[in-house]
Amino acid sequence: MEKKELLKEGRRIDGRAPEELRTIEMKVDVVSRADGSALVKFGNTVAIASVYGPRALFPRHLQELETCVLRCRYNMAPFSVDERKSPGPDRRSIELTKVIRLALEPVIFVEDFPRATIDIFVEILQADGSTRVTAINAASLALASAGVPMKDLVAACSVGKIDGTLILDLNGDEDKNSEADLAFAMMPTKDKVTLLQMDGNLTREEIAKLLELARNTCKKIYEMQRSVLKEKYRRVE
Amino acid sequence: MNEKNVLEVVLPGEFIAERNGKKIGRGVYLEGEKVYSKVLGIPRIEEDEISVIPLAGTYIPQVGQKVIGIISEVEISGWGVNINSPYTAFLPLAEGVEEFVDISRTDISKFYDINDVIYCKISKVTKNKIVQVSMRDFGCKKLREGIIIKVTPTKVPRIIGKGGSMINLIKKKTGCEIIVGQNGIIWLRGERKDKAIEAILTIEKESHIIGLTEKIEKMLGE
């Protein structure tokens, strides 16, 4: 297969500049039965997260005496990708489930709810790269709107390298053909990293540059999360 | 509606104030001398305490609070009570019944049976959130007839109002008997209970607006 040209005259295949985000849309309270829910769109990537709990955890042997158990599920809809994805968990979604849980666990005050559980379900309705960071952004919004005690929100974004150029917010095509990609999540007000995953080859300087870029972007995303949550309580007749 | 009519909202992780020797209330955490919010809510900075009143969340039992529970289990010497929380409460026989009961001969479901609704007090909560309730307090009883509705537990203070102003208003205007449990379960009995439910649900939905009492008064006045 011939390799696609990913960069043309400084523009990416979807017309963006290297350090430009796709259009981001966020909404809270999209699932009425859930305690908290959110929908986040990064361009064509759409994730919907719902949070239930803290609620009682059964069977009892799963309970932790002093903390609550965070349970997470990342699932890609069969129609979310070009070629039908066979439904159900596979190696990739099991890994992402764990990655998302580990990215969110440090911000939640788990010791406030001994023996209970918090369930997070993330469904990817449409996948076009960077699904894990979209999922984390949605889950963090859903947790906050469910009233779960947290140290901070979690904001996430992806960065990478194509044709020797460092880029922000990879889409599907770039993700498949990139030289390197890096998923990044952090607590924006505390300046602490909760997720850092890298695939590919980067030099020390490139990593430092990308981390700086990701950090600044996460702060921008945090501002969006913040305004959408505050808007929820301003929406009166 | 302009911004002035809406109370300020803080997010988890948002800085509220310097501690300055004040007490740390609910919904906040301390980092060094700085107080941050734990939840999405409305900050309260009082003379001696800093806290955040959450706008969403489940009910976590606290000793002394009065709640409405539904009997979910009948055991040999007590009852399991669903109190709309992650934790099921236990009502021991001695805390539930005044008279002496010989458990070897009596089936205690004759006092409270599954699905009975009771108004009770949280009498004990351990570190691991094992909860005990008691009927030995003023007003605690089995609730007969009427209906129960569920609201977000964090909105209960708003439904009750300052010194009970809001709930008394609804009681007076509709002539209903209303009991509000701190866990977000509300019991109502009376002719015009539909009107009361409508008012309560409006309060729940718009609890972050200033001047809610006047709005409810107008709504019930019609």
pLDDT at A146: 95
End-to-end CA distance of chain A: 56
Q: Does A171 have pLDDT greater than 70?
A: yes
d(CA A133, CA A202): 20
| Chain A residues close to B9, C-beta within 8 Å | 229-230, 233
- Cis amide leading into A59 (omega within 30): yes
Closest CA to B204 of B147, B168, B152: B152
d(CA B108, CA B93): 8
Q: Which of B9, B15, B129 sits opposite A115 (nearest CB)?
A: B129
B14 lies within 8 A of chain A by CB: yes
CA geometry: angle A11, A41, A168, nearest 5 deg:
35
What are the pLDDT digits (tens) for B143-192?
999 999 999 998 898 899 888 989 999 999 999 999 999 999 999 999 88
pLDDT at A237: 38
Backbone angles phi, psi at B102, to 5 degrees: -90, 100
Domain ranges of chain B: 3-54, 66-143, 147-221
Summarize the confidence of residues B189-215 as an average pLDDT.
87
The C-alpha torsion from A170 through A176 and A177 to A180, rounded to 10°, is: 60
Tokens in use for A25? 């849309």
What are the pLDDT digits (tens) for A108-125?
999 999 999 999 999 999
What are the pLDDT digits (tens) for A121-144?
999 999 999 999 999 999 999 999
Quick one: angle between helices B193-205 and B165-174, nearest 10? Answer: 150
Summarize the confidence of residues A189-193 as an average pLDDT.
94
Quick check: A113 and B56 CB within 8 A?
no
- Cis amide leading into A54 (omega within 30): yes
B209 lies within 8 A of chain A by CB: yes
**Residue A83 is which amino acid?**
E
Q: Which of B 168-207 lie inside 8 A of A, CB atoms?
A: 206
Q: Does A85 have pLDDT greater than 60?
A: yes
Summarize the confidence of residues B127-146 as an average pLDDT.
94
What are the pLDDT digits (tens) for B26-72?
999 999 999 999 999 889 888 889 999 888 899 999 999 999 999 99
B66-143: CATH architecture: Beta Barrel (2.40)
Q: Does B7 have pLDDT greater than 70?
A: no
Specify the CATH number of the domain B3-54: 2.40.50.100
Summarize the confidence of residues A2-16 as an average pLDDT.
83
Quick check: A149 and B9 CB within 8 A?
no
CATH topology assigned to domain B147-221: Ribosomal Protein S8; Chain: A, domain 1 (3.30.1370)
* CA-only gyration radius of chain A, Å: 18
Cβ-based interface (< 8 Å): residues of A facing B: 35-36, 53-57, 65-66, 107, 109, 112-117, 144-153, 187-190, 226, 229-230, 233-234, 236-237
How many residues are listed for chain A in this entry? 237
pLDDT category, B2, cuts 50, 70, 90? very low
CB distance B206 to B158 below 8 Å? no
Summarize the confidence of residues B73-100 as an average pLDDT.
94
d(CA B61, CA B125): 7
Quick check: A147 and B29 CB within 8 A?
no
Exposed / middle / buried, residue A200 (Cβ in 10 Å: 0-12, 13-18, 19+)? exposed
Residue B71 three-state SS: strand
Let me know if the fold of B3-54 is the same as that of B147-221. Answer: no
d(CA A163, CA A179): 7
pLDDT category, A3, cuts 50, 70, 90? low
Mutate to test the interface with A, among B26, B40, B129 (most CBs of A within 10 A): B40
The interface predicted TM-score of the complex, written ipTM, equals 0.89
Quick check: B29 and A151 CB within 8 A?
yes
Write down all domains in chain A, each with its CATH number in brackets: 21-232 (3.30.230.70)
Higher pLDDT, B95 or A232: B95
CA geometry: angle A32, A108, A71, nearest 5 deg:
60
d(CA A10, CA A162): 11
Tokens in use for A53? 């709990």
Summarize the confidence of residues B201-218 as an average pLDDT.
83
Q: What is the DSSP string of A42-102?
A: ETTEEEEEEEEEEEE-SSGGG--SSSPEEEEEEEE-GGGSSSPPPSS--HHHHHHHHHHHH
